[in-house]
């Protein structure tokens, strides 16, 4: 009887947990996006002021609880030398956020190539992809439509994709993207969540 009661209690107190990679070129705004996400979804979290965020060399991590699940974020450095390490995290990820600096038009093709190389990896098969067209608050930035047009040339394959305009600096577009990604990860039966204590 104890085993049955304990099992039921565990079932009631456990939460589904997903791991999400945040990737993109250096200075795209990945860490600022992560900080704004934690601020929006974690009550009482104030976060790092945007002007204090520095270039990531290695890994930043974050965690939020939303829509009845827990999400662990891995924000990886985007310098060319660090991109070689990205694939070490693919097999453990349930979703992927790719941040594009829309204001840096001269690096959009470089960003697209990096994205195309990344999604060709078999370890990301079926994982929902969220592209953040960041820095939409800057005049002359590439629009979401322009980003969509550029990135549609990539081999998305059989997976969900959404492109959301955002300003990580001002916290705009964060909520919509995260909500869409959580729904996509819940639908993806190829990568079931882990169970953790709530």
Q: Which domain holds residue 102?
A: 15-197
Tens-digit pLDDT profile for residues 56-66: 666 889 999 99
Residue 128 covered by a domain: yes
Q: What is the DSSP letter of 159?
A: S
Does residue 91 form part of some domain?
Answer: yes
Say if 2 falls within a structural domain: no
Mark the binding-site residues for GTP, compressed into ranges: 24-31, 78, 134-137
Active site residue 79: yes
Catalytic pick among 14, 79, 83, 175: 79
Mean pLDDT within 114-125: 94
> How far is residue 55's CA from residue 43's CA, in Å, rounded to a whole number?
26
Residues 131-168: tens digit of each pLDDT = 999 999 999 999 999 999 999 888 887 789 999 999 99
C-alpha 124/C-alpha 103 separation (Å) is 28
Average pLDDT over residues 172-181: 96
Binding-site positions for Mg(2+) read 31, 56
Residue 10 lies in a domain: no
Number of folded domains that form the chain: 1
Residue-level pLDDT at 80: 87
Q: What is the pTM of this model?
A: 0.90
Q: pLDDT per residue over 81-91, tens digit each? A: 889 899 999 99
């Amino acid at each position: 009887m104890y085993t049955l009661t304990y099992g039921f209690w565990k079932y009631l107190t456990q939460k589904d947990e997903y791991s999400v990679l945040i990737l993109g070129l250096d200075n795209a705004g990945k860490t600022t996006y992560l900080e704004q996400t934690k601020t929006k979804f974690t009550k009482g979290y104030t976060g790092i002021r945007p002007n204090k965020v520095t270039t990531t060399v290695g890994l930043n991590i974050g965690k939020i609880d939303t829509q009845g699940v827990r999400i662990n974020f891995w924000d990886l450095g985007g310098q060319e030398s660090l991109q070689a390490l990205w694939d070490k995290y693919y097999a453990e990820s349930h979703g992927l956020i790719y941040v594009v600096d829309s204001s840096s038009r001269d690096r959009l093709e470089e960003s697209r190539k990096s994205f195309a190389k990344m999604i060709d990896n078999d370890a990301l098969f079926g994982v929902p992809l969220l592209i953040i067209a960041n820095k939409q608050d800057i005049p002359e930035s590439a629009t979401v439509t322009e980003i969509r047009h550029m990135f549609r040339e990539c081999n998305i394959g059989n997976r969900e994709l959404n492109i959301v305009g955002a300003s990580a600096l001002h916290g705009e577009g964060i909520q919509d993207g995260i909500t869409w990604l959580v729904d996509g990860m819940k639908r993806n039966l190829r990568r079931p969540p882990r169970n953790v204590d709530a």
